[in-house]
Structure 1
Amino acid sequence: MDTLYWQKGSLQVLDQTVLPEKEVYRTCTAWQEVRDAIAVLAVRGAPAIGVAAAYGMVLAGKALVRERPSLTAAEFLQAFHAVGKQLEQARPTAVNLHWAIARLVSMADTLSAQPVSCIVAAIETEACRIQAEDLEINRAMSRFGAEELLKQDKPLTILTHCNAGALATAGIGTALGVIRALHAKGRLLRVYADETRPLLQGARLTVTELMADHIPVTLITDNMAAWVMKTKGVDAVIVGADRIAANGDTANKIGTYGVSILAKEHGIPFYVAAPLSTFDLTLASGADIPIEERNADEVRTVRGTPIALPATAVFNPAFDVTPHTHIQAVFTEKGVIRTPDTAHIDSFFRSHH
């Protein structure tokens, strides 16, 4: 299953809201359709959201030329900037969305002296480059993560939360990429996958991916994680990330913070796998990360079936923030950031940029 692909001027997006029962692709021919696909979680996972947003901006550029062929470059750029601001509203927490849009807007701005047709061609090439880069980033990150975990020198039992796999990226995944690398080396004993309420990305997506690759995986409900850590010999927790602050505090799918507390209590190392584009060095700490709150019916129902009264009050944050003090290391495409804090992250970025 391809998470998304660009085909003849349209973006094909695998609709993850109906997995694993159905494999259906949404055809996006307008940037608004990409925005909607991101908003409803048809496409999800920070890296994949970034790639989708890049193609959404390409669709916006093509539409502007088609609908207003006499646009000057200055007029095009003004409209292009406006679309970017609207597309950014689809999901507030995942920084890759904002990163990808900013990258294309910046490229368009540097070409302001060129004809509009040249600007549109350049941003399409850049969007394709972002997708290709994500595949290579996943491979490098997986290699660095596996090398770090192999230091335990035994077949490993891993616990993961949500879906940080191929379905969350344009490649093999972040956390699941590391797991795939361990499996390929014959050093993976078993994966325990939290179901990840309320939208069950662990049950529907992570388990489906790992089973398809014949990787041993056991599904557990979120409230079983502590007992599994205590009784099943979990050697490490690996998760993805949607935004990492300058001090290493990490926003990820709701429930991750709780898993980090359980891991700390049981003396189990807790790792984050994320590309450098997921770091937001403009934010000093996780307290500054905006947390998206979603529709209450995601909690009041399970896949459309009511499990609570319709008038039930609900708090439904999509993400929480794990303190950097709970994180043993962050696996990136440029290497491993151990004991991530402001000093270590700043040093890492200085040496790799």
Structure 2
Amino acid sequence: MESSFLQSVYYENGILNILDQTKIPEITEFLEITKIEDAWEAIKQLKVRGAPAIGIAAAYGLLLGIKDAPENSFDEFYSVFKKQADYLATSRPTAVNLFWALKRMDDCANNEKDLPVARIKEALENEAHLIRTEDEEVCRSIGEHALTLLHDGMGILTHCNAGGIATARYGTALAPLYLAQENGWDIKVYADETRPLLQGARLTAWELMQAGIDVTLITDSMAAMVMQKGWVQAVIVGCDRVAANGDVANKIGTYGVALLAKAHDIPFFVAAPTSTIDLETKTGADIPIEEREASEITEGFGKRTAPEGVKVFNPAFDVTPHELVSAIITEKGILKGNYQEELPKLFKK
């Protein structure tokens, strides 16, 4: 289980260390980041990816942005803090963990505003560490809850990467697979390659192989056939944002997988830490969807595969309507049915 114990984001001696996920599976390389601009770039360019990992990286990145902030008064300090937080918030628009983590840091700063600024900076570093530690605990709990929906001998399909390297540890959608392995279960995983950036092929397949879990890589267009053959008994994916009605934003292609699961009467599960639940966003139609450069499709990985000048539509995410979601699995339990009513209850527990 090497990869599940590999911290993809950590902060040590004033340096933000990020596993460069754009170089996996060929190279395992950590970036040593000392400037907030480089943290912004790492998030924007998917060097760090996965909603929880983005949130952790943002919290630590903010520490880099405020380390030289003036300490004469809270107002002077907070002016710099707010500017740097707003800057990090522009890196990616869809993953709500980014904004959730920055808000936690903001709340921490304001809660400690009566302390000397040097002490506030220490409190913010502790808060960033807490965000990372809590995520590890959250992922383990999601895995334990998800495991109750699965059984030994199942075939499970997943899309994109929601594993240990996308979080503090274990992952969200992959967490129950690691726990199934701990229990000695025989689980077979089918990993969509996840076009256009191949997170399933480059990351999920690599991560599960590192852990010794039985994984078969398929192209996105093969998912229907694999389901038709009866090789898949459940689909489990992560997510970047859950709207108040249970609509789910996740990597592009997830909606298609959910439709296929519905057509083949296969349960479609979403692993979602409460930090990805956005009760302020009413429906999936209100979730901002990031669009990325055309070159990711036309010249993916350095080779041109489309005509020069062709028009390209390249959304990074799509929205799966709540009607297609069999269950939302959180660290606080499993939700089914009326998500509009059930989601707010999580925050009262």
Using structure 1 for the length normalisation, give the TM-score: 0.95
SS for the counterpart of 1:90 is coil
CA distance in 1, matches of 2:48, 2:141: 23
Residues 120-174 of structure 1: CA deviation (Å, up to 9, x unaligned): 0000000001101111111111001002223xxx411000000000111011100
* AA in 2 matched with 1:251: A
Matched residue type, 1:225: A
Show the counterpart of 2:208.
210
Change (3 A) 1:237 1:340: farther
| Cα distance in 2, alignment partners of residues 3 and 309 from structure 1 | 37
Counterpart of 1:312 (choices 295, 310, 313) is 310
Distance 1:275 1:216 in 2: 25
Aligned: 1:9 with 2:10 = no
SS in 1 for 2:67: helix
Residues 235-276 of structure 1: CA deviation (Å, up to 9, x unaligned): 000000000001110000000000000000000000001110
Aligned to 1:238: 236
- 1:167 and 2:168 matched: no
1:341 aligns with 2:339: yes
Q: What is the aligned-residue identity percentage?
A: 49
Partner of 2:104: 103
State the partner residue of 2:143.
142
Distance (Å, rounded) in 2 between the aligned partners of 1:174 and 1:340: 22
**2: CA distance between counterparts of 1:148 and 1:228?**
21
Partner of 2:86: 85
Structure 1 counterpart of 2:91, one-letter code: A
Query: Out of 30, 33, 50, which is 2:55 matched to?
Result: 50
Secondary structure, counterpart of 2:328 in structure 1: strand
Task: Answer whether contact 1:95 1:278 (CA < 8 A) is retained.
Answer: yes
Deviations 1:45-84 (A, max 9, x none): 00000000000111112132xxx45x42111112211111
| Partner of residue 185, structure 2 | 187
Match of 1:326 in 2: 324
Kept in 1: contact 2:177–2:187 (CA 8 A): no
Conserved 8 A contact 1:31-1:60: yes
Normalising by structure 2, we get a TM-score of 0.96
- 1:165–1:209 contact (8 Å) kept in structure 2: yes
Whether 1:261 aligns to 2:259 is yes
Tell me the CA shift for residue 304 of structure 1.
1.4
For the residues of structure 2 that align with 1:339 and 1:206, how far apart are their CA atoms? 29
* Aligned 8 A contact 1:328 1:340 in 2: no
Asked whether the 8 Å contact 2:66–2:84 carries over to 1, the reply is no
Distance 2:108 2:125 in 1: 11
What does the per-residue CA deviation read over 1:173-213, in whole Å, with 9 as the maximum and x for residues that have no partner? 00001121122223343100000000000000000000011
C-alpha distance in structure 2 between counterparts of 1:3 and 1:198, whole Å: 22
What is the CA–CA distance in structure 2 between the aligned matches of 1:348 and 1:237, rounded to whole Å?
A: 23
AA partner of residue 330 (structure 2): T
Where does residue 63 of structure 1 map in the other structure? Answer: 68
Q: Aligned to 2:68, what secondary structure does the other structure show?
A: helix
SS in 2 for 1:214: coil
Which residue of the partner structure matches residue 199 of structure 1? 197
Structure 1 unaligned blocks of 5 or more: none
Q: Residue 115 of structure 2 aligns to which amino acid in structure 1?
A: Q
Which structure 2 segments of 5+ residues have no match?
1-5
CA-to-partner distance for each residue in 1:10-42, whole Å, 9 max, x for gaps?
A: 101010001100111111111111111000000
| Structure-to-structure mapping, 1:23-34, within 5 angstroms | 23-34=28-39
Name the CA distance, whole Å, in 2 between partners of 1:78 and 1:338: 43
Code of the residue aligned with 1:307 in structure 2: it is: T
Greater CA drift, 72-81 or 255-264? 72-81
| 1:37 corresponds to | 42
One-letter code aligned to 1:173:
G
For residue 347 of structure 1, report the CA deviation from its aligned partner.
Answer: 3.2
Cα distance, 1:340 vs. partner? 5.0
Deviation, 1:310, is 2.8
242-251 vs 185-194, which deviates more? Answer: 185-194
- Paired residues of 2:196 and 2:300 also in contact (CA < 8 A): yes
Q: Aligned-residue CA RMSD in angstroms?
A: 1.2
Letter in 1 for 2:276: T
Asked if the contact 1:244/1:250 (under 8 Å) is kept, the reply is yes
Q: What letter matches 2:57 in structure 1?
A: A
Question: Could you tell me which of 274, 286, 293 is aligned with 2:272?
Answer: 274
Question: Distance between the aligned counterparts of 1:335 and 1:344, measured in 2?
Answer: 11
Corresponding pairs, count: 344
Letter in 2 for 1:211: M
- Structure 1 contact 327–340 (Cα < 8 Å) conserved: no
Instruction: Answer yes or no: is 1:251 the counterpart of 2:249.
Output: yes
1:115 aligns with 2:116: yes
SS of the residue 1:238 aligns to: strand
Aligned partners of 2:173 and 2:237 also within 8 Å = yes
Secondary structure at the counterpart of residue 36 of structure 1: helix
